[in-house]
Structure 1
Amino acid sequence: ARIVDCVEAALLLPEDEGRTYERAVFEELRASDASAALRHLARAERRLGLNPDLAGIELLARRTIAIAGEGALAADLARDMLGRGMRVTLFDHDTEVLTRTIGLVAAGYEREDPGGRKTAEMRRQEWSRLDGATEPRDLDGLDMIFDLSELAGRGARTRMADFGRFAAEGAILATAATGPDLDTAITVSQRPRAVLGLRPAGPASDRLFELAASPITDREILAATIALMRGAGRRVVRTGLGDGSLSERLLGALRFAADRLLEDGATPYDIDAAMQAHGWQIGPYAALDRQGLIADLEWRARLETEDEHPLGTAGIGLELLEMGRGGISTGAGYYRYDADGNAWPDPEVLSVLTGTRGAPVRGVTSGVILARLLAALANEGARLVEEGVARRPSDIDLVMVIGHGLARWRGGPMQVADRTGLLAMRNALRKLAQGRDERFWRPAAIWDELIKTGRRFEDLNGP
């Protein structure tokens, strides 16, 4: 809107007055919260490329990669790796799954190149470098093995033992596993210095990945993985090992706080509307319907074993599943879906809230909803920084913006905490902790540390 104002001023005002007006508008916008948020994220993205501990490392030549897993992510990664000249082997024990994934690779070529930017010969050469395999021994001598199967709930704790046995010397062994499953993969591989965690940083985009490494991970392996992912058009957020990835932990906190709001009288539709009005691509309950309620409950049960938050006890997902409401795939979940896939609020869900859970639908303001959810995210982010899982607060903001669809001009939960004021945010958390779920809302110790020294989360980000 302000651009239009400047264009009109250029047409209507004398040149000197027009320039003065444009300068005033520029200064006004530069001082806005949105400008601060955008500049914060630009700096955060620049920091992703700053890895002084990996400077000067000579990388081994790697030309072959296996991708174990299924679906669009495996297919897209395979196509991008083929595009940078690598030989790619898609792996799955199930031949039907393998065939479907290869089909997705082919469909992706048609979708991405409608104008013929690649010649037929270029596409033929790329396609000739694609293989399929169903047995670990078929991966003998490969330079990198990337196991995505954990994302589909099909991962095997001991699969990395097979991969470690057959991969080439110096190979990168990457897995989408997190927490104890990643620890197991590192142990059984017999190559603990070669194994790292690598997974998308959220469902909104596969262009940002989390890379989890242990203190003993080989530095060349780390540097080479970052370079390979960059070559495939992906950026990497480096993390430490912990109970779950950044994305999982933040999403768990968000869902827990949202489910508690349901019990306080909000509806799924109130919460989704408040978040979308704040700039999220999709609210948590519409996102749950896309994911599928069965997958969500399985995810909660697994994460609960790794974390102290009682994720499995909150919400009404189990009740909805027992009613046959599994999400979009079944035509109903938190929403009801018409034949065209459009989502509609459903009185039946409100009946579950008022009846089964005993929570009267009395309305919760969007301001309360947003304050509660952002406080939950900021506190979980503070814990992640405190535990050393997150290397810097700005990485958490990138995960939420790129991985989970928060609008860039909002900046992310850690930047919001700085803007709100750490003292005010900590006091709000203390007040929430006086009720139920004291462990969840209890402010992480880092809040007090920063407040005492007059610092903000931004001060922990580095240059």
Structure 2
Amino acid sequence: MSEVVTYNREGSIGVITVNYPPVNALSHAVRSGLVAALEQGQKDADAKVLLLVCEGRTFIAGADIREFGKPMQDPGLPSVVDQYENSDKPIIAAIHGTALGGGLETALGCHYRVALSSAKVGLPEVKLGLLPGAGGTQRLPRLTGAQKALEMITTGEFVGAKDALALSIVDAVEDGSDIKAAGLAYAQKVADEGKPVRRVRDLTDKLQADKGSDVFEQFRAGLQKKARGLFSPFKCVDAVEAAFSLPFEDGVKRERELFMECMESPQRAGLVHSFFAEREVSKVKGLSKDTPVRDIRTVGVIGAGTMGGGIAMNFANAGIPVTIAEVKQEALDKGLAVIRRNYENTAKKGRITQAQVEERMSLISGTLTYDDFSDVDLVIEAVFESRDLKRKIFGQLDDACKPGAILASNTSTLSIDDIAAATKRPQDVIGLHFFSPANVMKLLEIVRGEKTSDEVKATAMALAKKIRKVGVMVGNCYGFVGNRMLHKRGAEAMALVNEGASPQQVDKVLTDLGFPMGQFAMSDLAGIDIGYSIRQERRKAGEDVPASWMDKLAEQGRLGQKTQAGVYKYEEGNRKPIPDPEVDRVIAEFREEQGIKSRDITDQEILERCMYVMVNEGAKILEEGIADRSLDIDITWIYGYGFPAYRGGPMFWADQIGLDIILGTVEQFYDDLGGEQWKPAALLQKLVSEGRKFSDL
């Protein structure tokens, strides 16, 4: 008998118990143990009913991620589920915590399911580029009908126990916290009432109700927008449809064929990489997990604009009181009104209640003086990108804030060391770079200064989790990781338009790759004035920043979506970018002023120049130690800039393309175009010469 799965009998109930911390994942040992325990239960003449229950905080939460990428050892999960379903004794699955993926498929192989009211169930395989491969696409629709099964399987979203009961996924829901007691009570009821074995595969009522409908056609049409560019959601629909068009055994075979197609898809590799990278990124090189963490109970934010207001909402959402400082009462009132409007809109969509709106607003207050920051644990400065202004503010915060308070800047480009030098406590200064809209975007780029203490670094990483962000620790340089690479791509996009491409052609190449928006549409979203301010600051610092037709747009007051005109124009209440002949005229004038003769540019050249310049810069970032690992760059771009997760991030994508191909093209551009951005990174050259990848570092 396996140590992780045991069998014993309590009265007439044979109890199969899984105990494989932390989440009872379906490892080879668990699968083997489940089969062995079932055999023992079948042979136990005194066991009338069998109960499957798990120790710890959860039911089987899915596959064992430690076995990802390794050959599957027998017994495979489909075989385990089939053996449970084929049992001639009724089996009850007792669910607490989460029953996800293979865990829910195992429960669906049982004949009855009881759950605690706090439990959740789901089939999230699609998030790894897969589909349920142990009968989930065939059994779930037999319980829920087509529409709900399609929704659950193509999104991977979880369903609470009460909803699962309404959908017939579970047969009973019990309050309380003792899952074994709830399971034994339900099993005893099954025994006392002589309930028969009830196999999900034999249920046909829901299949008959949806057979011949256009639900699958409609669902595919909806996915064209929701899952644009993705592979596995459409395969999930094919698999669920097989449950309605084929006998169960053939449907299971079809599911397996589609599962293997997903396994062989490059998207699966990219999504699995993203999955592991997101978990690995929280481990910071050189930072001990025993490092003390400061308690952040109150927060101050400087600036009530779009960014400051969004930052404040993150803390209110986490139950942390926050005070926003502004220079003028009018600006403060406007900022607070925008925050309330954002919460009200969320409530209208049913995502939070009106009571939660009021609760969160009660945690946000305003002030016109830094004196009200005297007792906060953290202050985040979120004013516009001006070195002089930020240094002035930090000097004032140094006097206003208590010892031990962390002083953070939301700067997207400026040196954290330079800002910290304006204080007497550089060890307490760090960059917390939120991404717009700050209350929505998941990335928090955490910028360590030369003198930032380990305690402050550890606190920032812990805080990211508390406010439900993905924190990535990076080093200090112009633009850090994300914007440093973005600015290289932006400069190349600008050059391509200067040479003859249109903004919409450049943007289409990027959206076809999987980005939610292109370079110029993103500039409009962020605000053209932001880039303009950055370029002006660099010019003040003596840098040779080339002239730009984007500067002309900013000087005309075309600042992007907020003025309904930027690189594109926008209709009231609509964020869809519309090409504008006026911008074409500005670009044509700029070319003429600069003596540039326009030429036709291919989509392939746009792809290579926009993307390979990023990869080359990413290699330089790794060389310099600004990012510790290529996965740090990948996660920054996935969660901060919308890089398609199914491509794994820019460095993983580069590995898939082939570093030798990228290096050869970079060298050619360096010969043809010149420029420091095209000087091949030494690390890229080294990896190619050694036949290695970024992921090998």
Q: TM-score when scaled to structure 2? A: 0.60
8 Å contact from structure 1 (residues 415, 458) kept in 2: yes
2:274 corresponds to 1:37: no
Match 2:405 to one of 171, 176, 179:
171
Aligned to 2:373: 139
Q: Within 2, Cα distance between the matches of 1:270 and 1:279?
A: 15
Mean CA deviation greater in 323-332 or 408-417: 323-332
Aligned to 1:227: 462
8 Å contact from structure 2 (residues 663, 684) kept in 1: yes
Q: Within 1, Cα distance between the matches of 2:626 and 2:668?
A: 27
In the TM superposition, what are the counterparts of 1:400-415 in structure 2 within 5 Å? 400-415=637-652
2:560 corresponds to 1:350: no
Aligned to 2:308: 74
Match 2:685 to one of 448, 452, 459:
448
8 Å contact from structure 1 (residues 259, 314) kept in 2: no
What is the CA-CA distance between 1:249 and the residue it aligns to?
0.7
Q: Within 1, Cα distance between the matches of 2:361 and 2:309?
A: 12
Match 1:296 to one of 531, 536, 546:
531
Aligned to 1:277: 512
Change (3 A) 1:433 1:125: closer
Structure 2: unaligned runs, 5 residues or longer:
1-233
What is the CA-CA distance between 1:150 and the residue it aligns to?
3.7
2:654 corresponds to 1:417: yes
User: SS at 1:357's partner residue?
Assistant: helix
* Deviation string, structure 1 residues 197-251 (Cα, Å, up to 9, x no partner): 1112566953211111134322222222222232122221100111222222111
8 Å contact from structure 1 (residues 133, 139) kept in 2: no
What is the CA-CA distance between 1:96 and the residue it aligns to?
1.9
Aligned to 1:374: 611
User: SS at 1:224's partner residue?
Assistant: helix
Q: Within 2, Cα distance between the matches of 1:423 and 1:139?
A: 53
Mean CA deviation greater in 431-440 or 45-54: 45-54
Change (3 A) 1:446 1:2: same
Change (3 A) 1:247 1:300: farther
Q: Within 2, Cα distance between the matches of 1:116 and 1:396?
A: 31
User: SS at 2:620's partner residue?
Assistant: helix
User: SS at 2:283's partner residue?
Assistant: coil
8 Å contact from structure 1 (residues 280, 406) kept in 2: yes
User: SS at 2:295's partner residue?
Assistant: coil
* Deviation string, structure 1 residues 159-208 (Cα, Å, up to 9, x no partner): 11221222222211111235654222211210011100111256695321
Q: Which amino acid aligns with 1:88?
A: V
Change (3 A) 1:315 1:27: farther
Q: Within 2, Cα distance between the matches of 1:75 and 1:324?
A: 23
Q: Within 2, Cα distance between the matches of 1:90 and 1:331?
A: 28
* Deviation string, structure 1 residues 317-351 (Cα, Å, up to 9, x no partner): 23445666444455543334445655332344334
What is the CA-CA distance between 1:15 and the residue it aligns to?
4.0
Q: Which amino acid aligns with 2:624?
A: E
Aligned to 1:238: 473
Change (3 A) 1:132 1:325: closer
Aligned to 1:20: 253
8 Å contact from structure 1 (residues 164, 189) kept in 2: yes
Change (3 A) 1:328 1:56: closer
Q: Within 2, Cα distance between the matches of 1:150 and 1:319?
A: 20
User: SS at 2:314's partner residue?
Assistant: helix
Structure 1: unaligned runs, 5 residues or longer:
none
What is the CA-CA distance between 1:90 and the residue it aligns to?
1.0
What is the CA-CA distance between 1:3 and the residue it aligns to?
2.1
Aligned to 1:159: 393
Q: Within 2, Cα distance between the matches of 1:116 and 1:401?
A: 24
* Deviation string, structure 1 residues 107-163 (Cα, Å, up to 9, x no partner): 34323344595584x766654543322222221122111111146999432211221
User: SS at 1:435's partner residue?
Assistant: helix
* Deviation string, structure 1 residues 72-112 (Cα, Å, up to 9, x no partner): 43233323323434332111222222222222333343233
Change (3 A) 1:208 1:339: closer
Q: Within 2, Cα distance between the matches of 1:61 and 1:329?
A: 37
Mean CA deviation greater in 333-342 or 167-176: 333-342
2:484 corresponds to 1:249: yes
Mean CA deviation greater in 4-13 or 155-164: 4-13
Change (3 A) 1:26 1:361: farther
Aligned to 1:426: 663
Aligned to 2:448: 213
8 Å contact from structure 2 (residues 385, 414) kept in 1: no
RMSD value over aligned CA atoms? 2.9
Q: Within 1, Cα distance between the matches of 2:536 and 2:602?
A: 30
Change (3 A) 1:340 1:222: closer
Change (3 A) 1:333 1:112: closer
8 Å contact from structure 2 (residues 347, 354) kept in 1: no
- Percentage of identical aligned residues: 29
Mean CA deviation greater in 69-78 or 397-406: 69-78
2:325 corresponds to 1:91: yes
Q: Within 1, Cα distance between the matches of 2:551 and 2:615?
A: 28
Aligned to 2:36: none
* Deviation string, structure 1 residues 242-276 (Cα, Å, up to 9, x no partner): 12222221110111111121233211111112211
* Deviation string, structure 1 residues 364-395 (Cα, Å, up to 9, x no partner): 22222112211011111111111111122122
Q: Within 2, Cα distance between the matches of 1:202 and 1:369?
A: 26
What is the CA-CA distance between 1:16 and the residue it aligns to?
4.0
8 Å contact from structure 1 (residues 270, 364) kept in 2: no
Change (3 A) 1:290 1:135: same
Q: Within 2, Cα distance between the matches of 1:178 and 1:323?
A: 24
Change (3 A) 1:314 1:2: farther
8 Å contact from structure 1 (residues 83, 126) kept in 2: yes
Q: Within 2, Cα distance between the matches of 1:9 and 1:34?
A: 23
8 Å contact from structure 2 (residues 282, 461) kept in 1: no
Q: Within 1, Cα distance between the matches of 2:558 and 2:479?
A: 28
* Deviation string, structure 1 residues 273-294 (Cα, Å, up to 9, x no partner): 2211221111112222334434
Mean CA deviation greater in 287-296 or 160-169: 287-296
Aligned to 1:363: 600
Aligned to 2:66: none
Change (3 A) 1:179 1:123: closer
What is the CA-CA distance between 1:12 and the residue it aligns to?
3.7
User: SS at 2:652's partner residue?
Assistant: helix
Aligned to 1:106: 340
What is the CA-CA distance between 1:313 and the residue it aligns to?
1.6
Mean CA deviation greater in 317-326 or 131-140: 317-326
Q: Within 2, Cα distance between the matches of 1:398 and 1:405?
A: 10
8 Å contact from structure 1 (residues 201, 246) kept in 2: no
Q: Within 2, Cα distance between the matches of 1:56 and 1:227?
A: 12
Q: Which amino acid aligns with 1:43?
A: F
Change (3 A) 1:132 1:340: closer
8 Å contact from structure 1 (residues 261, 369) kept in 2: yes
Q: Within 1, Cα distance between the matches of 2:252 and 2:455?
A: 53
Q: Within 1, Cα distance between the matches of 2:244 and 2:358?
A: 54
User: SS at 1:174's partner residue?
Assistant: strand
Q: Within 2, Cα distance between the matches of 1:183 and 1:109?
A: 36
Mean CA deviation greater in 372-381 or 97-106: 97-106
Q: Within 1, Cα distance between the matches of 2:451 and 2:604?
A: 45
8 Å contact from structure 1 (residues 256, 314) kept in 2: no
